Structure 1
Amino acid sequence: MLKANVDGAHRYRVQPGSRFPVGATVADGGVNFCLFCRHATGMELLLYASTESIEPFQIVSLAPDVNRTFYFWHVFIEDLPVHCCYTWRACGPHGVPQMDDAAASRKELLDPNARAVSERFWNRQQASEAQGASHASFRAIVTEPVETRDDVDIRTLDDAIIYELHVGGFTRHPSSGVRCPGTFAGLIEKIPYLKELGVTHVELLPVMAFDEQDVPPSAAAKGLTNYWGYSTHSFHSPHSRYCVEAARAPQEFRALIDAMHAAGLRVLLDVVFNHTAEAGANGPVINFKVLANEIFYHVDPADGGRYRDYTGCGNTINCNHPLVCAFILRCLEYWVRDLRVDGFRFDLASVFTRGEGGALLSNPPLPWAIESSEVLSRVPLIAEAWDAAGLYHVGAFPGMAWAEWNGRYRDVIRRFVRGEPGLIGQVCTCMAGSADLYQADGRLPANSINFVTCHDGFTLLDLVSYNAKHNEANGEDNRDGTNDNLSWNCGAEGETHDPSVIGLRLKQARNFMAILLLSQGVPMILGGDEVLRTQRGNNNAFCQDNELSWQDWRMSRDALDMLRFVRELIALRKRHPSLRRRRFLTGRPANGDTYPDVAWHGERLGEPPWHDPGARLVAFTLAAQAPGEAMLHIVLNMNDDARIVAVPVFDGQSWRRIVDTSLASPLDIVSDSVTSQSEFDACHVAPHSVLVLESHRNAA
């Protein structure tokens, strides 16, 4: 096949085509097109020469008796070049709430199975209006297939350290120094940074094609756009703005994955199968509203087809309908098998447990179908185990293999580090892998994705710099975003020149990162936290595609010190298997070991303050997990004063301090400290600090 170079007067010959496969498929002699549309009485395929073409060069009419099999419409266009664009029009009754059938039939529709998409002529406002321009639509691009492989190796989260980043924001800042800022290609240039940091998995915020115009009117009036990408319109296509050439979207994304794999990094995708960019009754017509409205969405037939909204975004995907379930499975398998991604994080995944009418299902088909897929069962599956309408499944998401974003871990650790007393039992349970959530039904520590910050909320620096959100820049009078941040500004709100406040903030940031990377389970770091990225108190920067959100590669001395601290913490985690146990801690020796896998303490040995309502200090000793591994003794002191804490004594062993968050860089973390505690049975722990001691054998 050749790239499109179409003479406007040329007309390509057509054949009936096949309903297998759906989408636009390049084949010998031309391109096969297939689309599902249940209620259409006729279909039209509109062909455009390029992404810049205003008018179609050919409109192909499809007849029901020739081009329809069941509810699938299909046609084969002979000798059609690749990189042509196309849309569909569907004639017939559609039931779209905001417009009559005649208006809906005029709308140009985007193929839900498009592998590449152009947004050149997209206008969300016009697509939402019955009388809006029919051509103000996304257009699918005929693109070459990527090389596919049938074999999918087993990929797990054992030993994983996840790094959540935004593809555009990671390199869009002028200081990034990459050739193609804000693209998959730009991210490839930053792989050495990720490799040096030491993370093992990169979790990309949504990269499936999304509507950047999907923001509230007040935000649009300020020139803001949808930055995060939780507004998917094309589940098979990489986002065009992250590409150098939109027509090569699959190839450019696959190049990123191949480069990540070559560097030993895995890639997880944050995917949004709970709602689409079509929103509610006032939202645009893109595809599903016309093609399969009552199948694809939760609608209330008793209320005029009103969209049921369990996502806060206007509509909810009817995930457990058999056709929708099959669509989602095929889509996910495509990203794994053809584009080679290594797993998924599912946004608002509790929507997957809703059946017809939104009712909660005890055994919802979709989660089980995903983890039972021959392809998907081999890759990590992570659920954001709640939705916007009150469902909360942390610790109870359906299925066997699903990991979960552990929101309880986040909240407990935030409360503890900011100084709330009486949380010792909860803190230790969280740091031990959250057995209270996962052990009873046979799950493992790796089912818990531990995090303190993520894209949604404060960055790490803002978590220790603000008591309240400051979202005025979003255009909603600071009404958006959560008010429950569990943060502490350390004595001043926002920017300050007070050295004591700044010093405490830096120490608190180190405390959070140390606790995260010393916990059992799978740690997830928000991209930029390792260099103290700030959003100036904005905890809902979904619409801030600007320097407020972008990674600034001009690093201050404090940022460089924090980067070193995080790198060394990751290295510490990697060299200590005792921090990455496959099974839950028991408090007993295992496999003939001399010492219990964990021993809990307070200021005195063996006296953890489980039930002390004023306690803000706890210590624990981790036995070695692997031959030759040193033991660790960890002390967390969130009191306002220093404490003298007992240290266990073992024959032939002494302790050396390797982490002390109260100290300035480079003494805050060292790989081989000369400071020995061997002659002492107690140690000094500074206020608001984390101390880690590592055992070593005394010389004979």
Structure 2
Amino acid sequence: MMRVSEGTHVRLGSTWDGRGTNFALFSAHAEKVELCLFDSKGRREIERIALPEHTENIWHCYLNDVAPGQLYGYRVYGPYDPQHGHRFNPHKLLLDPYAKKISGRLVWSDAHFAYRAGSPREDLSFDRRDNARAMPKATVIDETFNWGRREPRPNATWEETIIYEAHVKGLTKTRMDIAPELRGTYGALAAPAMIDHLRRLGVTTIELLPVHGFVDDRHLVERKLSNYWGYNSLSFFAPEQRYAKGAALDEFRMTVARLHDAGFEIMLDVVYNHTAEGNHLGPTLSFRGIDNASYYWLMPDDPRYYDDFTGTGNSLNLTHPRVLQMVMDSLRYWVEVCHIDGFRFDLASTLARGAHGFDRNSAFFNAIRQDPVLANVKLVAEPWDVGPGGYQVGGFPSQWSEWNDRYRSTMRRYWAGEGNLIGDVSRRMTGSSDLFNHDDRAPRAGVNHVTVHDGFTLADLFSYNEKHNEANGEDNRDGSNDNLSNNCGHEGPTDDPAILSLRRQLRKNQLACLLLAQGIPLLLAGDEVGNSQSGNNNAYCQDNEIGWIDWSDLGDRENDMTDFVGHLTAIRRRFAQIRSRQWVTAKGINGSYSVLWLTPEGNEMTEADWNFPEGRFLSYVLGPVESHEQALYVVLNAAPDPIEFRIPNLEEYKTWSIVLHTTDDDVDGVPRHPNTTMQAPPRSVIAFAGQR
């Protein structure tokens, strides 16, 4: 028998204080809550304790004899009344939403559903089977960790930031220069070979796909697949165990410490918009059985069903103060306990929804804005969801940066050969002021990307016109059909040297534009070595060679562009105007400018030049930020033919020297004088430094 006292409601979850453990669980509509303690293997329930107190809708108790390592779960009593939004079923063991460690894995069976599977009444029926044996359990932990006497954490300014998006397992699973037992784990992220590679690239920030504890959907498990990407969260505090060899939290923090020591920031892709419990016919694993009516958006006219803004079956309701508190507590936990430097919020529009749709003054935004712990971390939104009015690119507050899908679509279309885009390209290369120049926002508001985890890789973008997702088991119906890709004349792999050369060239052009563009660049891990997913543009369930990065071309003279990316990031560091905090301005009455748009003849562009039929040539000069710095002259030629152009004749610059040429690896550095005639080869990017 445990020694039970009332404990406190102040801190949710399980909190060990060195003598015992406090347990606290929020539920506004529960009638009774039981804490269930399990043996060390999670197979046998050894104690069941009714929580004796509830304060402000938080049920709590303190157990003197419970120490770190104790496995536990909850059973919550209340009405099972789906038609009024309540789905309590005490026969189902529930995971603590504040669990810091999860032990065991979910073993699928019909017992995980609160209703009788197969019943003609569907979720209006009631299931009395106990699911505890097949449920993962929360575990009491000791949160202390010795970070050592380390230098201050890296803190790249927003303007210096270059993001590298990667999957924990997929990044290192096939790296032959990492110890086999380490590949695919948290620890492998900080292996010497990986750190060396990141330094060669010149990135500042590693953004990890979800590491919050998640589960694999039943339909995927039955097809021998998994939720590989991790966008199926069940726990917002516990690091996913499958990426660890031992204690996940400590291994994760050790990796963060080593990456910080190497000078890299770590951002997490976080999924607070929905949970793994799915729609009204989904399982009861945690939130649904604890307080369904509080945690989720329910249909106002029929609360049996979920108001789904995410396309996953449910949406978390952050207008509820306790749900908002959980998200804020989670964010602070990852910053304070794990030293995370920033977050990318999946389907972030859902988080800011109110009764009347997306709200720029939502409780979520206001809570983030005033929180001192989050004041100095980087916040990036995926600024859309699938609900009404969900597309909100440019609509987030000034504290935020946003994924700029307009950059992605414009640059894909441009390098795929589409004409009449130079006006749009000019805006994308100079920070997308048409989207973000309001409310005192700066060019860093837009996170530019051409490829990310969702969609084609860069190699596949120029190898496939159609998606090839057959391995997902959905008859190729899943994934986007609108890829804006160009297979260069052949679908898939080829030995044709002309096609291979063109594909390499287009990859280099996209990388060059991404690093030359104002705004924050985001690189997809593996694009630098020509990683392919064989045309799969939705590899969310492919925990195998399709989803893992293929490093076999690392070191290959033709396909490995690691050093090329490193050259681009060096250019970005060299020219402060690429990293400007100010929006560009065209030439004014006094002759000052920060951008000067030029025709191939070297003249300032007129309206007729902007409307040139099928125009594919664009060139411009970015003036220096400081008078002693160099100007940058950029030439983009997406035409299939060479175009002759003149070096700018600007009185303040005596010569121009090439710093980048995507069709010529030998950047000669020879000074070119104003009015010198040159040729921009077909489908090329050239950049020059202007000498005063």
Question: After TM superposition, is the score higher than 0.5?
Answer: yes
- The question of whether the paired residues in 2 share the 8 Å contact of 1:209 and 1:233 is answered with yes
- The question of whether the paired residues in 1 share the 8 Å contact of 2:87 and 2:291 is answered with no
- The question of whether the paired residues in 2 share the 8 Å contact of 1:94 and 1:293 is answered with no
How far 1:601 sits from its partner (Å)? 1.0
Matched, 1:20 2:20: no
- The question of whether the paired residues in 2 share the 8 Å contact of 1:517 and 1:569 is answered with yes
Which of 399, 418, 430 does residue 432 from structure 1 map onto?
430
- The one-letter code sitting in structure 1 at the alignment partner of 2:213 is A
Match of 1:695 in 2: 690
How far 1:682 sits from its partner (Å)? 1.8
- The question of whether the paired residues in 2 share the 8 Å contact of 1:363 and 1:398 is answered with no
How far 1:42 sits from its partner (Å)? 2.1
Structure 2 CA distance, aligned partners of 1:393 and 1:152?
35
Match of 2:124 in 1: none
How far 1:376 sits from its partner (Å)? 1.4
How far 1:120 sits from its partner (Å)? 2.9
Match of 1:677 in 2: 672
How far 1:252 sits from its partner (Å)? 2.0
- The question of whether the paired residues in 1 share the 8 Å contact of 2:349 and 2:358 is answered with no
Matched, 1:68 2:54: yes
User: How do residues 483-522 of structure 1 correspond to structure 2 at under 5 angstroms?
Assistant: 483-522=481-520
3-state SS in 2 of match to 1:524: strand
3-state SS in 1 of match to 2:245: coil
Q: How many residues align?
A: 667
User: How do residues 401-412 of structure 1 correspond to structure 2 at under 5 angstroms?
Assistant: 401-412=399-410
- The one-letter code sitting in structure 2 at the alignment partner of 1:119 is G
Match of 1:210 in 2: 214
After superposition, the Cα gap between the structure-2 partners of 1:168 and 1:125, relative to the gap in structure 1 and judged at 3 Å, is farther
How far 1:638 sits from its partner (Å)? 0.6
3-state SS in 1 of match to 2:234: strand
Which of 535, 538, 541 does residue 539 from structure 2 map onto?
541
3-state SS in 2 of match to 1:234: coil
- The one-letter code sitting in structure 2 at the alignment partner of 1:452 is V
After superposition, the Cα gap between the structure-2 partners of 1:659 and 1:37, relative to the gap in structure 1 and judged at 3 Å, is same
- The one-letter code sitting in structure 2 at the alignment partner of 1:587 is A
After superposition, the Cα gap between the structure-2 partners of 1:280 and 1:138, relative to the gap in structure 1 and judged at 3 Å, is same
How far 1:658 sits from its partner (Å)? 2.3
User: How do residues 164-563 of structure 1 correspond to structure 2 at under 5 angstroms?
Assistant: 164-173=165-174, 175=176, 177-178=178-179, 179-189=181-191, 190-211=194-215, 213-214=216-217, 217=219, 219-245=220-246, 248-356=247-355, 359-361=357-359, 363-555=361-553, 557-558=556-557, 561-563=560-562
How far 1:675 sits from its partner (Å)? 3.7
Q: TM-score w.r.t. structure 2 length? A: 0.91
After superposition, the Cα gap between the structure-2 partners of 1:456 and 1:176, relative to the gap in structure 1 and judged at 3 Å, is farther
Matched, 1:92 2:78: yes
- The one-letter code sitting in structure 1 at the alignment partner of 2:19 is G
- The question of whether the paired residues in 1 share the 8 Å contact of 2:86 and 2:292 is answered with no
- The question of whether the paired residues in 2 share the 8 Å contact of 1:67 and 1:74 is answered with yes
- The one-letter code sitting in structure 1 at the alignment partner of 2:676 is D
Q: TM-score w.r.t. structure 1 length? A: 0.90
Structure 2 CA distance, aligned partners of 1:660 and 1:481?
35
3-state SS in 2 of match to 1:54: coil
- The question of whether the paired residues in 2 share the 8 Å contact of 1:636 and 1:691 is answered with yes
Q: Which runs of no fewer than 5 residues in structure 2 stay unpaired? A: 116-126
- The question of whether the paired residues in 2 share the 8 Å contact of 1:637 and 1:686 is answered with yes
Deviations 1:252-282 (A, max 9, x none): 2222221121111111111111110111112
Match of 2:47 in 1: 58
Structure 1 CA distance, aligned partners of 2:406 and 2:225?
32
After superposition, the Cα gap between the structure-2 partners of 1:307 and 1:176, relative to the gap in structure 1 and judged at 3 Å, is farther
Structure 1 CA distance, aligned partners of 2:673 and 2:156?
42
How far 1:642 sits from its partner (Å)? 0.4
Match of 1:641 in 2: 641
3-state SS in 2 of match to 1:490: coil
After superposition, the Cα gap between the structure-2 partners of 1:360 and 1:694, relative to the gap in structure 1 and judged at 3 Å, is closer
- The question of whether the paired residues in 2 share the 8 Å contact of 1:467 and 1:487 is answered with yes
- The question of whether the paired residues in 1 share the 8 Å contact of 2:452 and 2:523 is answered with yes
Structure 1 CA distance, aligned partners of 2:427 and 2:232?
36
Match of 2:118 in 1: none
Matched, 1:47 2:45: no
Structure 2 CA distance, aligned partners of 1:589 and 1:628?
21
Please report the RMSD computed on the Cα atoms of aligned residues, expressed in angstroms: 2.5
- The question of whether the paired residues in 1 share the 8 Å contact of 2:357 and 2:388 is answered with no
How far 1:75 sits from its partner (Å)? 1.8
- The one-letter code sitting in structure 1 at the alignment partner of 2:188 is G
Deviations 1:568-594 (A, max 9, x none): 11111111112111101112489x9x9
Structure 2 CA distance, aligned partners of 1:112 and 1:574?
43
After superposition, the Cα gap between the structure-2 partners of 1:28 and 1:562, relative to the gap in structure 1 and judged at 3 Å, is closer
After superposition, the Cα gap between the structure-2 partners of 1:361 and 1:696, relative to the gap in structure 1 and judged at 3 Å, is closer
Q: Which runs of no fewer than 5 residues in structure 1 stay unpaired? A: 1-10
Structure 1 CA distance, aligned partners of 2:166 and 2:83?
37
Which of 93, 108, 125 does residue 123 from structure 1 map onto?
108
Question: Which deviates more, 424-433 or 608-617?
Answer: 608-617
Match of 1:4 in 2: none
How far 1:155 sits from its partner (Å)? 6.7
- The one-letter code sitting in structure 2 at the alignment partner of 1:325 is L
Question: Which deviates more, 192-201 or 643-652?
Answer: 643-652
How far 1:17 sits from its partner (Å)? 1.8
How far 1:630 sits from its partner (Å)? 2.4
